[in-house]
Amino acid sequence: MTQKETMHITMGLEVHVNMTACKQKLFSRACNRADPENPNSHLDYVDVGMPGALPVLNPDAVVHAVRTCVALNMKVNEVFPFDRKSYFYPVLP
């Protein structure tokens, strides 16, 4: 590599948070309330990855996330790229 050539590396982080202030999940209209006696009872067709089901971002969650970033003195990007991951599990088909 010459001095003028630069290498760009993109790295992603997967972060899990529990946002109790939101009534719905981040990418689903399903209720965000956990029910220990009935696990997986609050599901939407987006949650189970049905064909053609595209996630819709919960605007309330975005507001809370940006407020958290501001409170922690973090940089907030104007554009948030998102890539949906699809996992293949051999036992599902």
Nearest CA to 42 out of 27, 59, 29, 53 is that of: 29
Q: How many residues does the chain have?
A: 93
16-43 pLDDT, tens digit per residue, is 777 777 777 777 777 777 777 877 777 7
pLDDT class of 70 with cuts at 50, 70, 90 = very high
Tally of CA atoms within 13 A in the half-sphere of 1 that contains its CB:
6
Tally of CA atoms within 13 A in the half-sphere of 80 that contains its CB:
7
37-60 pLDDT, tens digit per residue, is 877 777 777 777 777 777 788 888
